[in-house]
Structure 1
Amino acid sequence: MAALDQLHLHQSKRSDVVARIERLPISTWHVKARVIIGVATFFDAFDALAIAFVLPVLVPLWKLAGPQIGLLISAGYLGQLAGALLFSWAAQRYGRVRALQWSILVMSIMSLACAFAWDYRSLLVFRTLQGVGLGGEVPIAAVYISEITRAQGRGRFVLLYELIFPVGLVGAGLIARWVVPVFGWQYMFVIGAIPALLVVFMQRQLPESPRWLATRGRDAEAEAALTFIERETEKATQKPLPPVQTVAAADEQPASWADLFGPKYLRRTLVVWTIWFAAYLITYGLTVWLPTIYRTVFHLSLGQSLQYGLITQVVGLAGTLTCALTIDYFGRRSWFAMAFVGAAAALIALWFIGAQSPLRVLVFVGIAFFFSSVVSIGAYLYTPELYPTRARAMGVGVATAWLRLASMIGPTVVGLMIGGGLENVFLAFGVIAALAAIVTAVFAVETKNRVLEEVSP
Structure 2
Amino acid sequence: MNHIARLERLPLSRVHRKLLVVGGLGYTFDGADAAIIAFILPVVADKWDLGAGQISLLASALLIGFLVGALGAGALGDKVGRKKVMLGSLILYTSMTLAAAFSPDFWVLFVFRVLAGAGIGAESAIIAPYLSEFVPGRHRGRFIGAVAGFFSFGYVLSALIGRYVISPFDEGWRYAQIILAMPILAVIWWRRAMPESPRYLLAKGRISEADVVVSRMEEAVLKETGRPLPPVDPAPPVTSATSALAHASMGKKIAVLWSATFARRTLVAWVMWFCLTFAYYGFFTMMPKLLADSGMTVVKSFSFVFYIYLAQIPGYFSAAWLSEYIDRKRCIALYLSGATLAALGMALSHEESGIIGFGAALSLFMNGVYALLYTYTPETYPTEIRATGQGTASAFGRIGGIIAPFAFTFAAAQGGLNAVFSVTSVVLLVGVLTVLSLGVATKGRTLEHLSPTRHGPAADSNPLRTENDRTRT
Please, what TM-score do these two structures have when normalized by structure 1?
0.93
Q: Give, in angstroms, the shift of residue 444 of structure 1.
A: 0.5
Contact 2:35–2:284 (Cα < 8 Å) also in 1 = no
Identify which of 131, 155, 160 aligns with 1:174: 160
1:210 aligns to 2:198 (yes or no): yes
The corresponding residue for 1:284 is 281
Contact 1:280 1:376 in 2 (8 A): no
- Which residue in the other structure is 1:82 paired with? 68
Q: State the Cα deviation string for residues 290-318 of structure 1 (Å, max 9, x = none).
A: 111121222x2222111111111111222
Deviation per residue, 1:140-184 (Å, 9 max, x gap):
111111000001121111211211011211111123221213451
Letter of the 1:64 counterpart: L
Give 2:402's aligned amino acid.
Answer: M
Shift of 1:345: 2.0
Q: Which amino acid aligns with 1:327?
A: S
Letter in 2 for 1:346: A
Give the one of 444, 448, 458 matched to 1:453: 448
CA displacement, residues 376-403 of structure 1 (integer Å, 9 cap, x when unaligned): 2211010010000011000000010122
Q: Is the 8 A contact 1:268 1:386 kept in 2?
A: yes
Does residue 379 (structure 1) correspond to residue 368 (structure 2)? The answer is no
Cα distance in 2 between the residues matched to 1:128 and 1:234: 45
For residues 306 and 346 of structure 2, the distance between their equivalents in structure 1, rounded to whole angstroms, comes to: 20
SS at match of 1:22: helix
- Equivalent in 143, 151, 155 of residue 157 of structure 1: 143
Q: Please name the residue that 1:109 is paired with.
A: 95
1:201 aligns with 2:195: no
**Partner letter of residue 411 of structure 2?**
M
Instruction: Give the total of aligned pairs.
Output: 439
User: Which of the numbers 425, 439, 446 marks the counterpart of 1:444?
Assistant: 439
What does residue 189 of structure 1 align with?
A: 177
Aligned to 1:122: 108
1:241 positional shift: 1.7
* Matched AA of 1:70: S
Report the more deviating stretch, 179-188 or 401-410: 179-188
Residue 122 of structure 1 and its aligned partner are, at CA, apart by 0.7
Partner of 2:244: 254
Alignment of 1:254-273 (within 5 A): 254-255=244-245, 256-273=253-270
Q: Is the 8 A contact 2:30 2:151 kept in 1?
A: yes
User: Is the contact between residue 146 and residue 371 of structure 2 (CA under 8 Å) also seen in structure 1?
Assistant: no
Amino acid at match of 2:291: Y
In the alignment, the residues of structure 2 paired with residue 22 and residue 350 of structure 1 have an alpha-carbon distance, to the nearest angstrom, of 44
Distance 1:371 1:321 in 2: 11
Contact in 2 for aligned 1:259/1:387 (Cα 8 Å) = no
What is the aligned partner in structure 1 of residue 458 from structure 2? Answer: none
Matched, 1:321 2:317: yes
Deviation at residue 248 of structure 1 after TM alignment: 4.7
Equivalent residue number for residue 293 of structure 2: 296
Residue pairs, 1:213-252, within 5 angstroms: 213-251=201-239, 252=241
Counterpart of 2:228 in 1: which secondary structure? coil
Task: Please give the TM-score of this superposition, normalised by the length of structure 2.
Answer: 0.90
> What is the alpha-carbon distance in structure 2 between the residues aligned to residue 46 and residue 238 of structure 1?
39
- Specify whether residues 237 and 414 from structure 1 end up closer, same or farther in structure 2 by C-alpha distance, changes over 3 A only: same
Contact 1:18/1:247 (<8 A) preserved? no
Identity, in percent, stands at 33
Tell me, in whole angstroms, the C-alpha distance in 1 between the residues paired with 2:81 and 2:124. Answer: 15
**Distance across 2 between alignment mates of 1:378 and 1:47:** 22
Quote the Cα distance in structure 2 between the aligned partners of 1:402 and 1:369.
22
Query: CA separation in 2, counterparts of 1:430 and 1:49?
Result: 21
Q: Indicate conservation of the 8 Å contact 2:254/2:388, yes or no.
A: no
Q: Could you list the per-position Cα deviations for residues 324-373 of structure 1 after superposition, in whole angstroms to 9, with x for gaps in the alignment?
A: 1111101111111122222222223433x3x5444332222322222222
Q: Which runs of 5+ in 1 are unaligned?
A: 1-12
Residue by residue over 1:52-98, the C-alpha shift from the partner in whole angstroms, topping out at 9 and shown as x without a partner, is: 11122112111122221110011110100000011111111111111
Measured in 1, the distance between the counterparts of 2:441 and 2:244 equals: 26
Q: Give me the whole-angstrom Cα distance separating, in 2, the residues matched to 1:198 and 1:365.
A: 32
| Match of residue 48 from structure 2 | 62
* Distance in 1 separating the partners of 2:27 and 2:352: 31
Q: C-alpha distance in 2, partners of 1:311/1:21?
A: 40
Aligned partner of 1:407 among 385, 395, 401: 401
SS of corresponding position for 1:242: coil
- CA distance in structure 2 between the aligned counterparts of 1:305 and 1:58, rounded to whole angstroms: 16
Higher share of residues assigned helix: 1
Check conservation: 1:348, 1:430, Cα contact below 8 A.
Answer: yes
Correspondence for 1:430: 425
Q: Distance in 2 between matches of 1:17 and 1:258?
A: 29
Matched residue type, 1:225: V
Using the TM superposition, give the Cα deviation of residue 40 of structure 1 relative to its aligned residue in structure 2, in angstroms. 1.2
Cα deviation, residue 319, structure 1: 1.4
- The letter for the 1-side match of 2:41 is L
Distance 2:66 2:188 in 1: 20
Give how far 1:48 is off. Answer: 1.0
- Please, which moves more after superposition, 75-84 or 362-371? 362-371
The match for 2:461 is none
Which residue is equivalent to 1:307?
303
Q: 1:397 to 1:249 in 2, by over 3 A?
A: farther
The one-letter code matched in structure 1 to 2:56 is G
User: How far is 1:258 from its partner?
Assistant: 4.6
Of 383-392 and 288-297, more deviation after overlay is shown by: 288-297
Distance 1:269 1:62 in 2: 42
Q: Is the 2:144–2:371 contact (alpha carbons within 8 Å) kept by the matching residues of 1?
A: no
Task: Return the letter of the residue paired with 2:396.
Answer: W
Where in structure 2 are there 5+ consecutive unaligned residues?
A: 246-252, 453-473
Question: What is the rounded CA distance, in whole Å, between the counterparts of 2:130 and 2:116 in structure 1?
Answer: 22
In structure 2, the residue matched to 1:339 is 335
The answer on whether the counterparts of 1:259 and 1:265 sit within 8 Å (CA) in structure 2 is: yes
